[in-house]
Amino acid sequence: MASITGGCLCGRVRWEATGDPAFSGVCHCRDCQRNSGSAFGAFAAFPAANVAMKGELKTYEDKGDSGLPVHRRFCPNCGSGVARELDAVPGMIALLAGGFDDPAEFKPGMELYWSAAQPWMQAGGERTRFAKMPG
């Protein structure tokens, strides 16, 4: 992937990421379920230096299992989730896959918090699965 673009539902927030993601996946934790309004959150993480963001973002901050902040960035106009930054993974921005202009370019590499996945959820594929956050 040389460059990938995306943004929010209303288009006021746009981003471009260059290079390949450092890692990607789906997260089944309850916070990501609630934040996405779905069974999981899907993301591709890039070094912050490789992401150009345009438009105003608001931030909701909660805490991850590490006890460190998780910064959930969203468009203040349409409410679409755009990105996450975790203090536990400094220097990285996780862009939410639903905002990709071409979501078919998203290739999840792992599944996090598989232990919290909904019983009716089968994401398919041969991905590494972690019961919680690895590390």
Assign residue 21 the CATH number of its domain: 2.170.150.70
Predicted pLDDT at 122? 67
How far is the C-alpha of 95 from the C-alpha of 81, rounded, in Å? 9
Residue 128 resides in a domain: no
How far is the C-alpha of 97 from the C-alpha of 103, rounded, in Å? 6
Residue 78 resides in a domain: yes
Residue 57 resides in a domain: yes
- Range of the structural domain that residue 101 is part of: 3-120
For 6, the token pair is 């995306």
Residue 132 resides in a domain: no
* Residues ≥6 apart with Cβ < 8 Å to 22: 45, 46, 47, 92
Predicted pLDDT at 65? 87
Predicted pLDDT at 100? 96
**Residues of the chain under the 50 pLDDT cut:** none
Q: How many domains does the chain have?
A: 1
DSSP label at 113? -
Q: Is the pTM of this model over 0.85?
A: yes
Residue 134 resides in a domain: no
Predicted pLDDT at 126? 66
How far is the C-alpha of 87 from the C-alpha of 100, rounded, in Å? 24
Predicted pLDDT at 1? 55
Residue 129 resides in a domain: no
Residue 76 resides in a domain: yes
Predicted pLDDT at 124? 58
